Chains A and B, each alone.
Chain A
Amino acid sequence: MSFINYSSREINCKIVYYGPGLCGKTTNLQFIYRKTNPEQKGKLISLATETERTLFFDFLPLALGDIKGFRVRFHLYTVPGQVFYAASRKLILKGVDGVVFVADSQLERMDANLESMEDLKINLAEQGYELERLPFAIQYNKRDLPTAVPLTEINSAINTDSTPWFEAVATRGSGVFETLKGVAKLVLMELKKNY
């Protein structure tokens, strides 16, 4: 649910990074934060445990530029990936305009990916959304690891609706901005469709 302010000429959109625990959601935001000009970003807020596991959410506001005289602001959020934070995960999805599903490419995390994708669909449905109708992109992260499942295999297991997908190694930043741009494009096109 975008917030369009004609008075301050701003569009605000909320993008949520979803995925299983330790898949690299926070790492995506950290890389975006590091590589964005200071005037284009706010503080990166992480509500995390002492061991740096996300407890509630990470938040990064970005103002990348203008479109048709409107300042476009993206508010990026991550959810806590660990299974037992289900209640918190639901809350973050409120008012979402676009979702990035970060999948962990390692073979041993395939079940966790599928479980998290199912969890995403259920949580969206509870808020009245359908994943198929939301701007949505998938990122296959950790492509550099030796146990990474081949792309065609992971894609056919996770991506059942021909969703746009991106390869990434978030720790090095490869694919991170491509994914963000991919989902941002879908969000703005949705805006175009609705107005």
Chain B
Amino acid sequence: MPDFDLIMYENEFRRIDEELKKLYQQSNANVVFLVDKNGQLIASAGDTSEIDTTSLASLTAGNIAATGGIARLLGEKEFTILFHEGENDNIHISLIGQRVILVVIFDKRSSIGLVRLRVKKASENLLRIFNEISAKSEKKQHEKSLDESPFAEITDEDIDNLFK
């Protein structure tokens, strides 16, 4: 397999959550969220009640993937920032460490300058956390440690129950 599964534990999740909350407040954003490059939502901050975050996560990842494809055609490694401007809301998408996507949705209470500034700072902190997570996931998979894994016990019956 080319990549290791991403395993998120309570401790790292809390640190990510705090970092997103800080970014949300400091950038005056409406919503901030973090998406795996494969399209899975990792965490969010702000009012997400009106937003279909699962769909947004998948489409954002598709957007980044398509832009990455364009970049490679042009001989660039990656375009790390995408910005979409709407009538009311704007969306700032940035790639952190080739692995996760940071999305900030904001309106006229904020500005692109402020968002870029705050995103830069938050990205450094998030990158550090994700490097730790990757190292931990990789180690875990190497060791195949079964000490706390609930998955070793999956039975056919469990799977059948999902499809009842």
**Contact status B1-A128, CB under 8 Å:** yes
Q: Could you say which residues of chain A place their CB within 8 Å of the CB of B8?
A: 3-7
How many residues of chain B are within 8 Å of chain A by beta carbon?
43
**Contact status B151-A45, CB under 8 Å:** no
Closest chain-A Cβ to B159's Cβ sits at a distance in Å of 5
Choose, from A17-25, A66-74, A101-109, A153-161, the stretch at the interface.
A66-74
Closest chain-A Cβ to B142's Cβ sits at a distance in Å of 11
Interface string of B42-84 (1 = CB under 8 A from A): 1000000000101100110010011011000000000000000
Choose, from B23-31, B32-40, B85-93, B113-121, the stretch at the interface.
B32-40
A185 contacts B by Cβ under 8 Å: yes
**Contact status A95-B36, CB under 8 Å:** yes
Summed over the interface, the residue pairs from A and B with CB atoms below 8 Å come to a total of: 132
Choose, from A57-65, A113-121, A142-150, A167-175, the stretch at the interface.
A57-65
Interface string of A112-135 (1 = CB under 8 A from B): 000000000000000111000100
Secondary structure type dominating chain A contacts: mixed
**Contact status A7-B149, CB under 8 Å:** no
Interface string of B129-161 (1 = CB under 8 A from A): 000000000000100101001111110101101
**Contact status A68-B38, CB under 8 Å:** no
Given contact pairs A91-B65, A184-B159, A189 touches B154 in the complex (Cβ within 8 A): yes
Q: Could you say which residues of chain A place their CB within 8 Å of the CB of B5?
A: 1-4, 194
Closest chain-A Cβ to B85's Cβ sits at a distance in Å of 21
**Contact status A45-B38, CB under 8 Å:** no
Q: Could you say which residues of chain B place their CB within 8 Å of the CB of A127?
A: 2
Minimal Cβ-Cβ distance residue in A for B41: A12
Given contact pairs A3-B8, A7-B10, A195 touches B144 in the complex (Cβ within 8 A): yes
Q: Could you say which residues of chain A place their CB within 8 Å of the CB of B153?
A: 68, 192
Closest chain-A Cβ to B40's Cβ sits at a distance in Å of 5
Selected from A3, A12, A194, the residue in CB contact (under 8 A) with B144 is A194
Given contact pairs A7-B8, A7-B9, A7-B13, A94 touches B151 in the complex (Cβ within 8 A): no
A1-B4, A56-B62 given; 18 more Cβ-contact pairs under 8 Å: A1-B3, A1-B6, A2-B6, A3-B5, A3-B8, A4-B7, A45-B59, A57-B62, A61-B55, A67-B154, A68-B153, A72-B162, A75-B39, A95-B37, A181-B162, A185-B156, A188-B151, A192-B152
Give me 19 A-to-B residue pairs in the complex whose CB atoms sit less than 8 angstroms apart, sorted by A's number. A4-B8, A5-B8, A6-B7, A14-B39, A42-B52, A42-B55, A47-B62, A64-B162, A65-B161, A68-B153, A68-B154, A69-B150, A90-B69, A91-B65, A181-B163, A185-B156, A192-B151, A192-B152, A195-B151
- Shortest beta-carbon contacts, A-B, top 5: A95-B38, A128-B2, A7-B13, A68-B150, A91-B65
Interface on B for A, CB 8 Å cutoff? 1-10, 13-14, 36-40, 42, 52, 54-55, 58-59, 62, 65-66, 68-69, 141, 144, 146, 149-154, 156, 158-159, 161-163
Interface on A for B, CB 8 Å cutoff? 1-8, 12, 14, 42-43, 45, 47, 56-57, 59, 61, 64-65, 67-70, 72, 75, 87-88, 90-92, 94-95, 127-129, 133, 177, 180-181, 184-185, 188-189, 191-192, 194-195
